[in-house]
Amino acid sequence: MVSLSLNSLAFLCLCFLHVTWLLCAAEEADSSSFSKATKIGQGYRLISIEDTPDGALVGVLQVKQKNNIYGPDIPLLRFYVKHETVNRLRVQITDAKNQRWEVPYDLLPRDQPPPLKQSITRTRKNPLPFLEAEYSGSELIFTYTSDPFTFAVKRKSNGDTLFDSTSDESDPFNSLVFKDQYLEISTKLPKDASLYGLGENTQPHGIKLFPNDPYTLYTTDVSPINNNTDLYGSHPMYMDLRNEDGGKAYTHGVLLLNSNGMDVFYRGNSLTYKIIGGVLDFYFFAGPTPMSVVDQYTSFVGRPAPMPYWAFGFHQCRWGYHNLSVVEEVVESYQEAKIPLDAIWNDDDHMDGKKVFTLDPINYPRPNLLNFLDRIHSIGIKYIVINDPGIAINSSYGVYQRGMADDVFIKHEGEPFLAQVWPGAVYFPDFLNPKTVSWWGDEIRRFHELVPIDGLWLDMNEVSNFCSGKCTIPQAKVCPKPGRAWICCLDCKNITSTKWDDPPYKINATGEEARLGYRTVATSAVHYNGVLEYDAHSLYGFSQSIATHKALEGLQGKRPFILSRSTFVGSGKYVAHWTGDNKGTWEDLRYSISTMLNFGIFGVPMVGSDICGFYPAPTEELCNRWIEVGAFYPFSRDHANYYSPRQELYQWESVAESARNALGMRYKLLPYFYTLNYESHISGAPIARPLFFSFPTYTQCYDLSTQFLLGSSLMISPVLESGKTQVKALFPPGTWYSLFNLTNIIASNGGTYVTLDAPLNEVNVHMYQNTILPMQRGGMVSKDARMTPFTLIVTFPAGAIEGEAKGNLFLDDDELPEMKLGNGYSTYIDFHATINEGNVKVWSQVQEGKFALDKGWIIEKINVLGLNGSGTLPTIMIDGEPMMDATNVKVSTSEHKHLYWEGVEEKKQLMTRLESLNIPIGNDFSINWKI
């Protein structure tokens, strides 16, 4: 079950006050406190440096001035620098003598630096003579100075400085600081840089990082209604987009691979990290385009997981489907309302006493549930259930018994750490322990034999705890209290006696300086092999995701579908993500776009927010507008709270109409979504993207957070305000065609804002020029929709004499774990189209066409948009042969309507429509005609 904000219904009443306080605090925040702060030391000096056999640099740094602010300095540091690829540079700084905590190499595979030397050679009382030097790679240059030690990373092609750690007396930040529990390093930035990332948080100012907003990274069970607060995930990565005077744009990425809690202070012209442990392990990605940064980043952290085809259908969930008959009624109601549905979900209602891997024998009797699953599986609808990590302490509970026998739980003072979540008193599995991974996989296998689920939903895995501190199970009171399971009922006392539970520097956790162990595992608790929760806390959901993915993939040899609330660097390789306990407000609808776009940058492209809001109750108008946005989230799911009114899309007729319209288009676009899924898997390309991904030189879109792209060329421009029936949308330069009415054109040379009509049940979706979009007829479930004939939509710049359009399509057996060509169960098609002196040609190039041919897929229509002409019907040639007489091919033309026309000559343009083609999609084809 999803927690209610800070897991308390009482908190719901206080949320508005809390949000107001946070907003006020954010407005008042500035850098004055930093300018007044006492400088911490004078940094470090370089005392030795040498080349390694593999072409890296290794140096030793010595602290210049010792002090005890936030603890004693580590006297000697080892820095390691290597150009790992032509476009990736690594810079690591750590203790020169003692091994420090790093993100485990088995969780996130990567090259290991050389081992620390037992003794430091060439140390000297006097530093090396002052020097400046550089270490050059193919795309990036690393430069450094010796005293004080600073470094910079520059772009080789234009000399631009991407990262600069120098600190002057006038700067509101320190030189390099490296203590056991406090690390600080900064970089200077140009004022015209546009930064994105540093999540997970709700950014009220939009996707672009806003100076003096707080960015704290520490996985926390706090709902996204709290702005500028550390939420469920930790992604210490940012993308920097720079464009000087509207010229060529350059983009790079910076990852600080560190799982410890941290504050990141962005002041507009500088960025400072303050971290409470671990090492400084930077990775710089050269870009130079936004897409290439994500490609390089996911090449390192892991390519996004391939999703099954049905995952791109619509999903319905609710906490509060009290029994199986309610779930059956929901599925039937969607079918009666003719709203597409691909997956029905259960929150914890199906469980016996809210214990994971169990089934309620009264409300979800297994024979009845199996009969229901047989029925929905036969028509292609899937079934997914929630799974929380807390294992109920119950001597008659087999999952608990086996976990205790295998010793799989996180420990505190030698005993399993006691916490409380929905079933009451629980222990938390330690997924850093190999035995836990095996035990977890076995429990998933056992549950799948009980209920043939189609995926798992990992919740509460930050990890969330309704209590804080060291607790015991009370003897004289009922725990948990009936109907109040989210209220801590254990007997607990604070733990502040260790430096791990009460570190010297307090990160801005949960929007205020809360204790690190507040409503989670105590940070002095211990994982496998002595690893402290203090270090590994933000890895919990990530490690659980890896264990779950391994279990599901090994279960039946099928492609897993896993949804996780908590994420970390590299989570996209294993799971999808939803943005947690949002509210049914217009603000939350707007915020959902920025969060979705951020996760695409983080390499987690399968992402979406609870449509209509998780709680407390959306208005009918809001739910109309939300499904018009949510129908185009990569992950599209309606989900509601136990205490909220029912909000399935059929509950209001107006919402049902909006759903049929928006989801009807989504289901026609499923082959496009699925091809984007393939592109994500092979290159990291986000499915939903900011506009600057396709238009990096168009600076007007750099801070645009109210529109987004699907792929490179479909733009969604939704209504995000109450009472509006128009939307002011930004159109980058070029020609755009309305996807719901292909004859409507918006065109400009320099880009423009256009006010679009947007009646209640309509959403504006536009398709860019030079694109070939594959679509199908749609349907009520993806299983049927994907077997319908294809239509290709070809767009040229309106009235172009010469032009070229491209598109592609990936098809496969989506049950297979791997998503690739060459296995005999996949087909890939490149589509091309050109116009040249009145000659139009459309053709394809097919790789491994057998799979598509065996499925019998055909192209039935081709629509070519933006052509000049008089309206005369052309003579169609297919593979060099005239087709009009030999087939039933129908050819027609329609005149385009210019909704906006600026900076280009307005002439009559036509759309040519070819129908009844019956072209096997698995064969190469070529069609041409003369205008």
- Residues noted as catalytic: 459, 462, 581
Pairing of strands 708-710, 714-717: antiparallel
Token pair for 221: 């069970």
The H-or-E segment that residue 803 falls in is strand 802-812
Q: Which amino acid, residue 697?
A: T
Query: Cα 369 from chain centroid?
Result: 33
In 576-725, the DSSP E strands lie at 576-578, 607-608, 610-611, 636-640, 688-689, 708-710, 714-717
- Whether residue 616 is preceded by a cis peptide bond, meaning omega within 30 degrees of 0, is yes
Torsion sign (Cα): 634, 640, 646, 652: negative
Backbone angles phi, psi at 325, to 5 degrees: -60, -30
Q: What is the side-by-side order of every strand in the sheet holding 194-199?
A: 44-51, 57-63, 76-85, 88-95, 280-285, 249-256, 235-243, 194-199
* Pair 634, 312: CB distance under 8 Å: yes
Q: For residues 575 and 46, give the distance between their C-alpha atoms in angstroms, rounded to a whole number.
A: 43
Q: How far apart are CA 94 and CA 102, in angstroms?
A: 10
What the block records as the tokens of 284 is 């710089």
Task: Count other Cβ atoms within 10 Å, centred on residue 642.
Answer: 17
Strand 455-458 and strand 76-85: the pairing is: unpaired
Query: Quick one: CA dihedral 780, 784, 786, 790, positive or negative?
Result: negative
The identity of residue 91, as a single letter, is V
Residue 927 to residues 194, 828, 840, Cα–Cα distance (Å): 44, 19, 8
Instruction: Check residue 909 and report its DSSP letter.
Output: E
Question: Any idea what the Cα angle at residue 692 is, between residues 687 and 698, rounded to 5°?
Answer: 155
Report strand pairing: 764-768 vs 744-748: unpaired
Cα separation, 495 vs 493, whole angstroms: 7
Query: Helix 398-406 and helix 434-450: axis angle, to 10°?
Result: 160
Hey, what are 285's tokens?
């990605």
How does DSSP assign 541-558, residue by residue? HHHHHHHHHHHHHHHHS-
Closest by Cα among 138, 193, 188 to 163: 188
Strands 262-266 and 214-217: antiparallel
Look at the alpha carbons of 902, 903, 907, 910 in this order and tell me if their dihedral is positive or negative: negative
| Structure-token pair, residue 449 | 């034999």
Query: With contact defined as beta carbons under 8 Å apart, do 683 and 295 qualify?
Result: yes
Return d(Cα 587, Cα 881) in angstroms, integer: 57
With contact defined as beta carbons under 8 Å apart, do 680 and 605 qualify?
Answer: yes
Give the type of residue at 172. Answer: P
Chain centroid offset of residue 133 CA: 39
Q: Give me the long-range contacts of 352-355 (CB less than 8 A, separation at least 24).
A: 353/392, 353/423, 354/1, 354/392, 354/422, 354/423, 354/485, 355/392, 355/394, 355/397, 355/399, 355/423
Q: Check if the beta carbon of residue 584 is closer than 8 Å to that of residue 612.
A: yes
